[in-house]
Chain A
Amino acid sequence: MAFLTLEKLTKKFGPHLAVDGLSLDVEKGEFIALLGPSGCGKTTTLQMIAGFVDPTAGAIRLEGRDLLAIKPAKRGLGIVFQSYALFPHMTVAENVAFGLEMQGVAAVERTKRVAETLELVGLAAFSSRFPRQMSGGQQQRVALARALVIRPNILLLDEPLSNLDAKLREEMQIELRQIQRTVGTTTILVTHDQAEAMALSDRIVVMNQGRAEQIGPPHEAYERPATPFVANFLGKTNLVNGTTVRPEKISFGTSGLAGKVRTRIFQGNHWLYQVDTDSGLVTVIRQNTGEAMPAEGAMVHLVWGATP
């Protein structure tokens, strides 16, 4: 039996179907990403698990128990909100201790666990600061510590990294992954960022218009997308003569599909090409190996796996 089960979960807002019969089994300790464009129902799904939104139909079970029958305050879930939703009038330590206080954990034990958790997220030195005095990345860690300290059944992450700049986001991805591995908490991440979903999760649920288009490991979803939507949403794709080809799988050769380089963009570790061919515009990504590459206007031949 799965640890967490979503069974034909459905939510209607008026005539609009926000979540349409979503079924999902999550194993204990698994890291699941709900990935999709805005309005695909991923956040609504998260809020139904958290208990802030009541489903129109369907069931949520945690270790076989009906989660919907339990009040949000009693579900014991750790949530990191997009805005972090830290309590601005409390210090970092008070923020983190709040959940333990609500559980009635004794003061001595509370202090110990707060210190441990702040250590885990690398904020041991900041316990007496107020949230306003910290950077976005630090606030994000406080939010994570506040969610983890109560030893939640499930950790829910609602676009947790979207307010950070690109470099910090990458660092936090690595750290988040390490922390999740360390504590082993079953985690559900909601994101619209495919790179984030692929970097962090064991399995991705690609959602579109309230439905799961594909559920599977990131690598599988990327290499064998179940639908054109998944193929397009997970990275760039070319549709050449009815087959989909990833841009990084195409290389320049001496024979193959002929074309002319329309644009060439240098992106540091790789080159991004757009090539005009008889089959339409093809995007090509080539690793920057230091070798000379075809310039704009050059005539090239495109080669990929299936081409003879």
Chain B
Amino acid sequence: MRAAPYLLSLPALLLFAGVVIVPLAMTVLLSFHDWGQYKGIEPVFILKNWQEVLSDSYFHEMFWRTFRIAFFVTLLTAVFGAPEAYILNRMKSPWRGLFLLVILGPLLISVVARTLGWALLFGGNSGLINKALISMGLISAPLPFMFTETGMVVALAHVLMPYMVLAVWAALQRLDPQIENAAVALGAAPFTVLRRIVLPQVMPGILSGAIIVFALAASAFATPAIIGGRRLKVASTLAYDEFLNTLNWPLGAAVAVLLLLALIAVVVGASRLVERRYAQVFG
């Protein structure tokens, strides 16, 4: 009797172990192996790769860049995504569905196709975006977007915006429909209602959206690879290069595992913070 639940979940557990746990454990193991130009991978236990990754400023720069980009992407999606979700939530029936589709649209297109689209828009000094910005009189000289962090942040923010909008939207739907009227009746101006009543209540939604976006931005591969190119590497493109160009699999594994650990630390820390801050209030 007691074994039945375990037996029933066994297929899923086996699949999970087979495609996640085992490869992950092998990657961790791999990061402790030795590698040489001519000898290839040697299955020994050394800390060389970890020492290199943790001490070399080349890697520091790369990880620092990865998290800087992820931070600005998160900030950008929050600043645009939260108001977007609020507007979406206030829309009436036919429009709401239509605009929800527009917002979710990016998820329906391959990341590579979307990023190449951004590359076309950014493209060099005569790119569409630069032309538009110049003709609007916002800038006088073309801004460099391709192979810059700015370009990566803009493209990633677009790719990851739906996650933020959905997280905030879910929080907005838990709002008491009368709560804004209650604040208005007490004399609050529209902006005060937003700042004092709505924003604090959707904050958990914004923060959980931020955790998702941050994790996805820090581990994104296709967008940094295309927009950043070989010149501007982040942790994931670095790991890719170590694996497939240098063929130094153990070093690549160390980079990948470090990225994973750093992300787990950030995500767990952030959700702990959110839980502690809001458990009492929103139970």
Contact = CB atoms under 8 A, between A and B. Distances in A.
B184 A72 contact: yes
B112 interface: no
Interface string B168-182: 000000001111011
Interface in A71-107: 72-79, 81-83, 85-89, 98-99, 102-103
A230 interface: no
Chain A CB count within 10 A is highest, among B181, B187, B197, for: B187
Contact of A89 (B177, B178, B200): B200
B79 to A, nearest CB: 21
B181 A52 contact: yes
Chain A CB count within 10 A is highest, among B178, B182, B200, B282, for: B182
B27 interface: no
B283 A73 contact: no
Contact of A85 (B178, B189, B200): B178
A117 B281 CA distance: 23
Contacts of A78: 185
Chain A CB count within 10 A is highest, among B178, B185, B200, for: B185
B282 A102 contact: no
The binding surface of chain B is classed by DSSP as helix
Contacts of B183: 87, 98
Interface in B175-208: 176-179, 181-189, 192, 196-197, 200-201
Contacts of A145: none
A50 interface: yes
A73 B188 CA distance: 6
A111 to B, nearest CB: 17
Contacts of B197: 87
B274 to A, nearest CB: 13
A83 B179 CA distance: 9
A50 B61 CA distance: 59
A70 to B, nearest CB: 12
B57 interface: no
B176 A83 contact: yes
Contact of A79 (B185, B196, B200, B281): B185
A132 interface: yes
B187 A73 contact: yes
B58 to A, nearest CB: 45
A75 B186 CA distance: 9
A77 B185 contact: yes
A132 B283 contact: yes
Contact of A132 (B177, B186, B192, B282): B282
B181 A83 contact: no
A132 B281 contact: yes
A102 B176 contact: no
Given A89-B200, A130-B281, A98 B178 contact: no
A73 B184 contact: yes
B267 to A, nearest CB: 24
Interface residues of B, number: 22
B207 to A, nearest CB: 13
Nearest to B280: A130
Interface string B193-236: 00011001100000000000000000000000000000000000
A99 B178 CA distance: 16
B181 A88 contact: no
Nearest to A102: B187
Given A87-B197, A88-B201, A79 B182 contact: yes
A161 interface: no
Nearest to A50: B185
A203 interface: no
Given A88-B201, A89-B200, A102 B182 contact: no
Contacts of B179: 85, 87
Contacts of B177: 83
A246 interface: no
Chain A CB count within 10 A is highest, among B177, B178, B189, B282, for: B178
A52 B282 CA distance: 27
Given A81-B181, A87-B197, A130-B280, A73 B176 contact: no
A146 interface: yes
Contacts of B201: 87-89
Interface string A129-169: 01011000000000000100010000000000000000000
Contact of A72 (B176, B185, B192): B185
Contacts of A82: 178
A83 B280 CA distance: 20
A74 B187 CA distance: 6
Contacts of A74: 187
Given A72-B184, A72-B185, A76-B187, 14 more contacts: A52-B184, A73-B188, A75-B185, A77-B185, A79-B182, A83-B178, A85-B181, A86-B182, A87-B179, A88-B282, A89-B200, A98-B196, A99-B187, A132-B282
7 contacts: A77-B185, A79-B182, A81-B181, A88-B201, A88-B281, A88-B282, A102-B186
